[in-house]
Structure 1
Amino acid sequence: MIIEIIIFLVTSIVAYSLYSYKKYHNYFKQRDVKYLPGIPIFGNAFKSTFLFKHLWEDIDEIYRAFPNEKYVGYIEGMTPIIVVRDPDLIKSITVKDFDHFTDHRHFFTEETEPLFGGSLLMMRGERWRDMRTTLSPAFTGSKMKLMMPFMTEVSNNIINYLKEHQGEDIDAADLMRRYTNDVIASAAFGLQVDSLKDKDNEFYTIGQTLLNFTGTQRLIMYIYEVFPQLGKVLGLKFFPDRTVNFFREIVTSTMEYREKNKVERPDMIHLLMQASKGNLKQNSADSTEKDVGFAIAEDITNTQGKIRDWSLTELTGQAFAFFAAGFETSSTILTMCSHELAINPDVQEKLYQEIKEFKERNSTLTFENVGQLKYLDCVLNETFRKWSPALIMDRVCTKPYELPPPKEGSKPYRIKPGDIIYNSVNSIHLDPKYYPQPKTFDPERFSEENRHKLKPFTFMPFGIGPRNCIGSRFALLEIKVFLYNLILNYKILKCKQTTDPIELMPGDFNVKAKGGSWIKLEARSSI
């Protein structure tokens, strides 16, 4: 009897997979949308699912297969997705017609993942609009100015630690993760952590469980992608309870302590406490403030929502997501930038000369003068172009919409609520149509003399439109603070383990160099 049940279940799954396989291929064919045949159950994501390729490379294969199309069909598991290739169409979807695409894809519900599922990243509709309005004042330049001393303090700790490790082969990814970990611990949660001296501190080790996915987590993610209702019925949780409870306890206990003892510290916990009381508002300085870099993504449509009361769980979810989204993104860019500087010594030397001359004119790096480092901004922009952690901008249709024909002579494509769209980011960043010799690391693309040559909506490291990355200022500032101090004090050199050229490590979301990013540091004479 058991054998018969197993045979029935296996047969049913195979039959359903083959039916879905044919259904979704016909789905694009009937709508005159170009696509590449996939594999049953896995679609076009087979290679990345089994770590033969990176997730982005599976999407990029579809992108490059049809260079004359405005958009193409991509099958993720058994879900048909439109991949948008055309920058003008991306503008329409993310800005001009944003009201038709207000939501992100929803992997987890608040029932299964209360913190992440209830974060700004996963919120939908008016609730998202209201939370974005509530939190936006927390990420203005004036608030970042108050957090910059925390970044500088952590950066100085790292620089001093490196004095005793010159000439050693250094795992840049590990170094940068510990820096961004300590910055977020301080600037977001009010914790003093030194992850280089105390390598196994709880904040760092717990944080790694958010980023280093286990085989079980990959399976859960796959189930939610292919059989979402099954995942909900089973109540599968992606993040370990220990991790979620740790962050919930930090936020709750810190808020209670500060409230009781009337403690104020200009960090994210303080801003969330203000938000809970309805006291977090824009001030007059925010409209005239200086910004920290060209890559800043601004809201260019009105997303004004209502200020409402938020529960402690809802606010804790924002701190949880701030760590999960910001930690790896910033450390990735710092890692890939240091790797690129090691194998492009001419770029590094030009950057050092700018920083050295800046240091001679200014005693310290401040929020007011960080914008003077124009070449540093170019170097970072080029790193974001080549190695953006964004990959794609996903959107879910919320109101019926008609895409223009994918090419002249084709018919329009009607999108219905619930349909998913991937707006290309990394594929456009590496398209020679927009960036000649895209594999070459050339910061001059972003110089003030050359920026006018960039086609709008072809540089999107923090997203575009109302659902851009709310923490882009924070990320850019913490990256610039550390790179400034690192390049001022050390020369970044290649070592035996340094890969050149850099190739992308197969994986899911995280951008890493195959073989790792290994560097060697040599103190400059001024240290």
Structure 2
Amino acid sequence: MSAYSFYPLLTLTLLFITITLLQLWFNHCYRYWYRRKIPYLQPTMFLGNLKPLLLLRTSFGDYFRSLYAEPSFQSAPFFGFYILHSPALLIRDPQLIEQLLIKEFNNFPNRYEAADLQVDPMGALTLPLAKYAIWRKSRRELSKLFTSGHIKHKFYPKLLTIAKQLEEYITRKLTQEDQQLLVDSGLATVIEVKEMCALYTTDVTATLLYTTDTAGLKNDGCEMRTQCENLFKPSLRKIVDFFAIFFLPTAVRMLKSKVFTQQYSQYLRRLVEQRIKAGDQHRDSGDLIDLLLKMQQSLDDTTLNDWLRHTDFIAAQVGIFLLAGFETSSSLIALILYELAKQPKIQTKLKAELAACFCKSSSCDISYKKVLQLPYLHMIVTEGLRLYPTAPFINRECLPNGQEQTLWYEERSKCLCIPKDVPAYVSILGIHRDPKYWPNPQLFDPQRFAPENLPSIQPMTYLPFGAGPHGCIGSRLGILQVKLGLIFILRSYRVEVCEQTLTKIQFDSKRFMLEANGRLYLKFVKEE
């Protein structure tokens, strides 16, 4: 046999052996749940069960909702699936979810997703991604920002001012001749509500947490809004980084994956530097940066505190609170407005409640106490959070270097053993739209949360902000800014669908949070 024919044959043989070994290895990996006698979703070779996500065919929330709704597992309290070749669990039973998130928190203190402290300290130090030791200290300090007293006395007056600017934004659009529409009851205008709401919540976040006036509503845009929007623009590198952080955290160091882009990171550092330089001007402002600066000054010398004193620690919290603060609330306001436009009777009832409490022309009578005491508004926001939860899915992992943990269910007659290094996921969007707990779940129906119906809601089937110690730290402030936004819009305007309005909400597959895919236009009609 000549050398010319030998080497191609050798190459083909080696290739065949490699493919065979890979196939045998994947077959072994994909029998993990079979060996443990746990029901599981049949995987696709190499991709596991992530094919729809990898091909960007579905959003993160829709993906986990589709797992939850798998017909074969409708009566199963849990089942296994595969992230590429790695095993994972989806928990469906409310009792198991309660143990995972609350009762057994000490055994499941961390989220599975992670950034690497060496490669990406800014991402790894953010509150959602920080591991327990750093998270615990950070959370304890940051909680001071979101007490009811701090929100009422420090944040609420500023929040009123920005909500008034939201109303003025709509008025300005209405007075622009090229945007005016004549309707039977007067003037109207069509507005893309996703951008409007994003400007509102960006201004709120900047003013309350960073004492920075971005004036996004006044100027139809601002640098902070642009920076956030650029961060979410898809690219191959961002997709790889995002996927590694959320599904392959052991690979983030090798891939050098980072939560924030270089441009966004530089913007955050500049924002913090400018705020610190202002110094005495914002001393005791009660904002996020002021709180973190004081925390850093009080730290003693320990290895853990060295990370909390890291130059990027404050910028990390600024960056993640900016995204969490504007993205979730802005999307929720826009989607609630969409639902109200489709159901005029619900909107009319809400507007009647607002008219009975507030004067259209004044902000002075919109007190903190009054806003919290509006029952129908609260029902509407609560239902909005059921249909469009801020976190569509969550997960937990066992303590590092620990043993497998046992969760009990069905009155402790059955148990689930969760191995270490295996993430356990909960589909909040899935459980929120399960007809077993929520009849006609796709319908926006605030009456589900009427006082007389609350006792019938099964515990742990309503989790818009998660649950337990890892629950959303800013939920109280988030709900307040949503309520005020709706009050200042609906006390003077009626929202209606128009020719450009989406007929059905589909979630953007390139976003982590739930956001409508495409522009969301609604008609705003001025009411005297």
Of stretches 410-419 and 472-481 in structure 1, the one that deviates more from structure 2 is 410-419
| In the alignment, structure 1 residue 476 sits paired with structure 2 residue 479 | yes
Residue type of the alignment partner of 1:74: F
Deviation at 1:231, TM superposition (A): 4.0
Q: Indicate conservation of the 8 Å contact 1:392/1:423, yes or no.
A: yes
- What whole-Å deviation, never above 9, does each CA across 1:288-307 have from its counterpart, x for those lacking one? xxxxxxxxxxxxxxxxx99x
Instruction: Provide the residue aligned with 2:164 in structure 1.
Output: 156
Q: Indicate conservation of the 8 Å contact 2:40/2:81, yes or no.
A: yes
SS in 2 for 1:272: helix
Instruction: Provide the residue aligned with 2:293 in structure 1.
Output: 273
SS in 2 for 1:368: helix
Instruction: Provide the residue aligned with 1:392 in structure 2.
Output: 393
Structure 1: which 5+ runs fail to align? 280-304
1:28 is matched with which residue: 28, 33, 49?
33
Structure 1 Cα separation of the partners of residues 320 and 373 of structure 2: 31
Alignment CA distance shift 1:225-1:159 (3 Å): closer
Structure 1 Cα separation of the partners of residues 102 and 263 of structure 2: 39
Residue type of the alignment partner of 1:273: L
| In the alignment, structure 1 residue 187 sits paired with structure 2 residue 186 | no
SS in 2 for 1:191: coil
Structure 2 Cα separation of the partners of residues 16 and 173 of structure 1: 50
- What whole-Å deviation, never above 9, does each CA across 1:270-290 have from its counterpart, x for those lacking one? 2223333449xxxxxxxxxxx
Structure 2 Cα separation of the partners of residues 6 and 355 of structure 1: 76
Instruction: Provide the residue aligned with 2:434 in structure 1.
Output: 431
Alignment CA distance shift 1:458-1:395 (3 Å): same
Q: Indicate conservation of the 8 Å contact 2:165/2:218, yes or no.
A: no
Structure 2 Cα separation of the partners of residues 234 and 198 of structure 1: 40
| In the alignment, structure 1 residue 221 sits paired with structure 2 residue 239 | no
Structure 1 Cα separation of the partners of residues 155 and 365 of structure 2: 16
Instruction: Provide the residue aligned with 1:316 in structure 2.
Output: 315
Q: Indicate conservation of the 8 Å contact 1:403/1:412, yes or no.
A: yes
Structure 2 Cα separation of the partners of residues 384 and 9 of structure 1: 55
Residue type of the alignment partner of 1:117: A
Alignment CA distance shift 1:189-1:363 (3 Å): closer
Name the count of aligned residue pairs. 498
Q: Tell me the TM-score normalised to structure 1 length.
A: 0.86
Deviation at 1:521, TM superposition (A): 0.3
- What whole-Å deviation, never above 9, does each CA across 1:303-342 have from its counterpart, x for those lacking one? xx99x97445323322221112222111111111111111
1:414 is matched with which residue: 414, 417, 420?
417
Structure 1 Cα separation of the partners of residues 436 and 430 of structure 2: 11
Alignment CA distance shift 1:238-1:315 (3 Å): closer
Instruction: Provide the residue aligned with 1:372 in structure 2.
Output: 373
| In the alignment, structure 1 residue 168 sits paired with structure 2 residue 186 | no
Alignment CA distance shift 1:489-1:278 (3 Å): farther
Instruction: Provide the residue aligned with 2:265 in structure 1.
Output: 244
Structure 2 Cα separation of the partners of residues 222 and 17 of structure 1: 22
Deviation at 1:233, TM superposition (A): 2.5
Deviation at 1:112, TM superposition (A): 2.6
- What whole-Å deviation, never above 9, does each CA across 1:73-102 have from its counterpart, x for those lacking one? 122233321111011111111111111100
Structure 2: which 5+ runs fail to align? 1-7, 175-187
Structure 1 Cα separation of the partners of residues 450 and 469 of structure 2: 26
Structure 1 Cα separation of the partners of residues 388 and 234 of structure 2: 20
Structure 1 Cα separation of the partners of residues 41 and 485 of structure 2: 43
Structure 2 Cα separation of the partners of residues 58 and 234 of structure 1: 24
Structure 1 Cα separation of the partners of residues 379 and 15 of structure 2: 55
Of stretches 265-274 and 361-370 in structure 1, the one that deviates more from structure 2 is 361-370
Instruction: Provide the residue aligned with 1:287 in structure 2.
Output: none
Q: Indicate conservation of the 8 Å contact 2:123/2:129, yes or no.
A: yes
Deviation at 1:225, TM superposition (A): 5.7
Residue type of the alignment partner of 1:156: K
Q: Indicate conservation of the 8 Å contact 2:492/2:527, yes or no.
A: yes
Of stretches 5-14 and 309-318 in structure 1, the one that deviates more from structure 2 is 5-14
Instruction: Provide the residue aligned with 2:228 in structure 1.
Output: 207
Structure 2 Cα separation of the partners of residues 118 and 4 of structure 1: 52
Alignment CA distance shift 1:366-1:400 (3 Å): farther
- Percent identical among aligned pairs is 25
Instruction: Provide the residue aligned with 1:293 in structure 2.
Output: none
- What whole-Å deviation, never above 9, does each CA across 1:347-390 have from its counterpart, x for those lacking one? 11111111111115995222222211111111011111011131
Structure 1 Cα separation of the partners of residues 410 and 14 of structure 2: 43
Of stretches 140-149 and 463-472 in structure 1, the one that deviates more from structure 2 is 140-149
Residue type of the alignment partner of 1:75: Y
Mapping of 1:44-443 within 5 angstroms?
A: 44-65=49-70, 66-145=73-152, 146-166=154-174, 167-224=188-245, 228=249, 230-259=251-280, 263-278=283-298, 310-359=309-358, 363-398=364-399, 399-403=402-406, 412-443=415-446
Q: Indicate conservation of the 8 Å contact 1:490/1:523, yes or no.
A: yes
Structure 2 Cα separation of the partners of residues 486 and 251 of structure 1: 32
Structure 2 Cα separation of the partners of residues 194 and 457 of structure 1: 40
Residue type of the alignment partner of 2:469: P
Structure 2 Cα separation of the partners of residues 219 and 403 of structure 1: 33
Q: Tell me the TM-score normalised to structure 2 length.
A: 0.86
Q: Indicate conservation of the 8 Å contact 1:210/1:239, yes or no.
A: yes
Of stretches 231-240 and 25-34 in structure 1, the one that deviates more from structure 2 is 231-240
Residue type of the alignment partner of 2:354: I
